[in-house]
Amino acid sequence: MVQKTFVTKNGKANFLCPECGRSKHMDVSKYSDIKKEVRLKCTCACKHVFSVILERRRHVRKAVNLKGNISFGKLSQPVRIVDVSRLGLKIRAENELGFTVEDKVIVNFALDDVHQSKVSKEMIVKIIHGKEAGLKFTSGDHYDKFGNYILYHFN
């Protein structure tokens, strides 16, 4: 199994051997400009070899499967929210998306909490890949049900 390790703002990461439990703090800043996933092969002092993925995101993402709807002007279409983070969402649609990068959209969706809480967020389209898009919240303040959700439902 491949483990993930988070990279700090100053380019350091902590590697933990799954065999003996030893940890080593290392500078991984030389990988900061690489756009693809960075997977490293580590050899512990106990000679155990293990793989680590460097997680360079500022905020953890959680895979979800939430029903939603996205609106852009008069266009509205159903979508699935496939992951969430404190800064944004990744959505997937059945049809081609009717907007472009940097457009402002409104996303309405229901959380998978006990109350099926309804959430409505204004967002900016940051990336589009076919029928998928990465969206960023226009505000980082989440004083609603979504704020509680990202605080207490990330395991």
57 pLDDT exceeds 70?
no
pTM of the model: 0.65
Q: Is the pLDDT of residue 155 over 60?
A: no
Task: Check residue 8 and give its pLDDT.
Answer: 80
Q: Vertex 118, ends 117 and 124: CA angle to 5°?
A: 130
The H or E element containing residue 118 is strand 118-129
pLDDT at site 153: 66
Q: Which domains does the chain have, with CATH numbers?
A: 3-55 (no CATH), 62-152 (2.40.10.220)
Has residue 134 got a pLDDT over 90?
A: yes
Residue, of 154 and 118, whose pLDDT is higher:
118
Among the listed ranges 38-42, 43-47, 116-120, 149-153, which one has the minimum average pLDDT value?
149-153
Over residues 64-87, the mean pLDDT reads 93
So what's the pLDDT on residue 91? 97
pLDDT tens, position by position, 13-24: 889 899 998 988
Question: Measured between alpha carbons, how far is 99 from 153 in angstroms, rounded to an integer?
Answer: 30
Average pLDDT over residues 102-111: 95
| DSSP secondary structure letter of residue 148 | H
Q: Is 55 exposed, middle or buried (0-12, 13-18, 19+ CB in 10 A)?
A: middle
% of the chain with per-residue pLDDT over 70: 95
Contact 154, 147 (CB under 8 A): no
CA angle 111, 86, 59 (to 5 degrees): 130
pLDDT confidence tier of residue 59, bands split at 50, 70 and 90: low
Q: How far apart are CA 41 and CA 35, in angstroms?
A: 18
Mean pLDDT of the chain: 88
